Amino acid sequence: MKLFRSIKELQQTLAADRIAGLTIGFVPTMGALHLGHLSLVERAGRENDRVVVSIFVNPTQFNDPHDLRIYPRTLDADMALLSGCRCDYVFAPSVEEIYPEPDTRKFDFGSLGSVMEGHFRPGHFNGVAQVVSRLFDLVKPGKAYFGLKDFQQYSIIKNMCLILKLPIGIVACDIVREADGLAMSSRNALLTPEHRAVAPQIYSTLQLALKEAGHFAPDVVKRHVADRINSLGLLKIEYFEIVDELTLKTVSSWKRKGTKVGCIAVFAGKVRLIDNIIFAK
CA dist., res. 29 & res. 250, Å (int): 29
Give pLDDT, residue 271.
94
Q: Is the pLDDT of residue 130 over 70?
A: yes
- DSSP H or E segment with residue 53: strand 50-55
What's the rounded mean pLDDT across residues 122-130? 96
Classify the C-alpha dihedral 193-194-195-197 as positive or negative. Answer: positive
Average pLDDT of the chain to the nearest whole number: 96
| Whole-number CA gyration radius for the chain | 19
- What is the rounded distance in angstroms from the CA atom of residue 183 to the CA atom of residue 186? 10
- What count of other Cβ atoms lies within 10 Å of the Cβ of residue 118? 19
Q: Where in the chain is the domain with CATH 3.30.1300.10?
A: 186-276
Tens digit of each residue's pLDDT (9 = 90 or more) over 66-75: 889 988 899 9
What's the pLDDT at 73? 93
Average pLDDT rounded to a whole number, residues 248-260: 93
| Range of lowest pLDDT (36-45, 205-214, 272-281) | 272-281
> Which superfamily is assigned to 186-276 in CATH?
Pantoate-beta-alanine ligase, C-terminal domain (3.30.1300.10)
Backbone angles phi, psi at 160, to 5 degrees: -60, -40
**Other CB atoms within 10 Å distance of the CB of residue 215:** 8
Task: Tell me what percent of the residues of the chain surpass a pLDDT of 90.
Answer: 95
Query: Does residue 281 surpass a pLDDT of 70?
Result: no
Beta strand 235-244 with 260-268 is antiparallel
Delimiting residues of CATH 3.40.50.620 domain(s) in the chain: 2-173
Over residues 10-21, the pLDDT tens digits come to 999 999 999 999
Q: Would you state the pLDDT for residue 105?
A: 97
DSSP three-state, residue 79: helix
Give 3's strand partners: 90
Note whether 159 and 248 are within 8 A (CB).
no
Residue numbers annotated as active site? 37
Pairing of strands 143-147, 50-55: unpaired
Q: What are 76-118's pLDDT values in tens digits?
A: 999 999 999 999 999 999 999 999 999 999 999 999 999 999 9
Segment 4-51, tens digit of pLDDT: 999 999 999 999 999 999 999 999 999 999 999 999 999 999 999 999
CATH class as words, domain 2-173: alpha beta
